[in-house]
Amino acid sequence: MSSNSQAFQAIKGTYDILPADAPTVLAVREAFAAPLRRAGYGYIETPVFEDINLFSRGVGESTDIVTKEMFAFTTLGGERIALRPEGTASVLRATLEANLHRVGNLPVKLWYSGSQYRYEKPQKGRYRQFWQVGAEAIGAEDPALDAELIILADDAYRSLGLRNFRILLNSLGDRECRPVYRAALQDFLRGLDLDEDTRRRAEINPLRVLDDKRPDVQAQLVGAPMLVDYLCEGCKAYHEQVRELLTAAGVAFEDDPKLVRGLDYYTRTTFEFVHDGLGSQSAVGGGGRYDGLSEMIGGPALPSVGWALGVDRTVLALEAEGITLDAPATTDVFAVPLGEQARRVLFGTVTQLRREGVSADIVYGGKGIKAAMKAADRSGARWAIVAGDRDLAEGNVQLKDLSTGDQTPVALDVLVTTLKEKLQ
Ligand code: AMP
């Protein structure tokens, strides 16, 4: 190694999922996925990067995600691409490209699981690479779909044992009523004392100003016109049906007239799952209806609804509620060969055990007996197979119960069946 070599570290805002934490992460992803599979959602994977315009058009030119947080770059071939900041635009692009909306029934129900990238200011619960499991129901306008997705997310969180979360619900209106509201809100915002950035945002996407977390802005927003008072009859009736379906399913929610969320494409139903043990990064999942997105990215009218649940923050929510999920299966059997001949034989035994579904491991690197027995203890295995060349010459190995220390000789030719019986 050269003298100026330095150990590498994970890039700011990223972290490694190590084996000790991996079972929880995998269990969270599985808990999100299981209800979706049962409800007829098909799994889809899209590339981690896309044409940057897909996101600027789809997610929205005025969102922080696009203007400030995109991991964008030019490839060696001169293409402008970006790491995906969210999943919906990509899934819809893939649906249109593969004509999924033409070949089967509508809605096309899809789910995905993967990493997302946003150049945010890192803190606990907010990373530059994070994981989401998402679901999209594409090409149908039906309050039952909006309700279904909220119920499935609720089921997913509950199946993990989480209880201290709330569902916030709102309607953002449609192309009929939202423009009227937008104009009224803009009129109101123009009369306020706002910084230049915020004034510009008020012109491009005034609803986002409602989402501003700064107290001085929030203070000025008291008395702002509220979208609920502007919803057209169609939106009102639709929203009422979503609410009724949720109530009938026993899913509690809170009406939150200020909920707008950070992406431009939402229409009508929007919702967020917030956990009360997470401090400022409290949103563990969210989504809503996006009836206009398909047309924004060059497709036909395909009213759709979807959500994305945050894996990283759900893991933190489990910690906050003191929930530990079932410990992962560890090694059942650990082999300790004492000698060259024994090593060859036990390596074969371990291979056979693995092929027959028993988790087995062996000591590596020519350790002495003391270090080898320590490795066996550390592995968490229930049984150790200890054998020297002399045992093997007699056709035997020693089978040691690592929890009691008892040791008995077992004939090599019945070892695998004996272990399988003991482990049942
Ligand atoms: P969004 O795509 O912004 O609607 O986010 C959906 C969910 O993804 C949020 O509720 C969070 O749980 C999670 N999420 C969003 N941004 C981040 C981030 N930077 N770090 C960790 N989780 C995130």
Say if residue 329's pLDDT is above 90: no
Give the position, in ligand 1's atom list, of the atom nearest the Cα of 126.
20
Confidence check: pLDDT of 62 > 70: no
The answer to whether residue 163 scores a pLDDT higher than 60 is yes
Atom of ligand 1 nearest to the CA of 314: 12
Pairing outcome for strands 304-310 and 129-138: antiparallel
**pLDDT tens readout for residues 206-221:** 888 888 889 999 999 9
What pTM was estimated for this model as a whole?
0.91
Taking a C-beta distance cutoff of 8 angstroms, is the pair 283, 252 a contact? Answer: no
Spacing, Cα 169 to ligand 1 middle (Å):
17
Count CB-CB contacts under 10 A for residue 17: 14
Identify whether residues 143 and 285 lie together within a single domain.
Answer: yes
Q: What whole-number distance in Å separates Cα of residue 163 and Cα of residue 276?
A: 10
Ligand 1: list residues with CB < 6 Å. 86, 118, 120, 125-127, 130, 132, 262, 283-286, 308, 310, 312-313
Residues 315 and 340 in one domain: no
Q: What's the mean pLDDT in 89-115?
A: 96
Where residue 276 sits, what CATH number does that domain have? 3.30.930.10
pLDDT in tens, 37-55: 999 999 999 999 999 999 9
String of DSSP letters for 274-299: EETTSTT--EEEEEEE-TTHHHHTT-
The CA-atom distances, in angstroms, between 129 and each of 85, 114, 119, 247 are 9, 10, 8, 35
Residue 213, pLDDT score: 82
> Do 58 and 32 have their domain in common?
yes
Both 307 and 348 in one domain: the answer is no
Q: What is the mean pLDDT of the chain?
A: 93
CA of 363 from ligand 1 middle (Å) equals: 42
pLDDT at 1: 45
Average pLDDT of the segment spanning 337-364? 94
Quick one: pLDDT at residue 57? Answer: 84
Burial status of residue 264 (CB atoms within 10 A of its CB: 0-12, 13-18, 19 or more): buried
Pick the last residue of a domain from 295, 320, 345: 320
CATH of the domain at 351: 3.40.50.800
At 264 the pLDDT is 64
Range of the domain at 345: 333-423
Report pLDDT for 263: 64
Higher-scoring residue by pLDDT: 365, 28: 28
Is pLDDT above 70 for 3? Answer: no
Output b/e per residue, 311-338; b: 16+ Cβ within 10 A: bbbbbbbbebbeeebeeeeebbbbbbbb
Neighbours of 345 (CB within 10 A): 20
Per-residue model confidence as pLDDT tens digits over 374-424: 999 999 999 999 999 889 999 999 999 999 999 999 999 999 999 999 998
Number of folded domains that form the chain:
2
Cα of 277 to ligand 1 centre, how many Å? 16
CA distances from 274 to 151, 162, 167, 215, 313 (A): 15, 11, 6, 20, 10
Query: Could you tell me which of 211, 197, 218 has the C-alpha nearest to residue 67?
Result: 197
> Cβ contacts of residue 104 below 8 Å, gap of 6+?
none
Q: Which of 117, 90, 246 is nearest to 169 (CA)?
A: 246
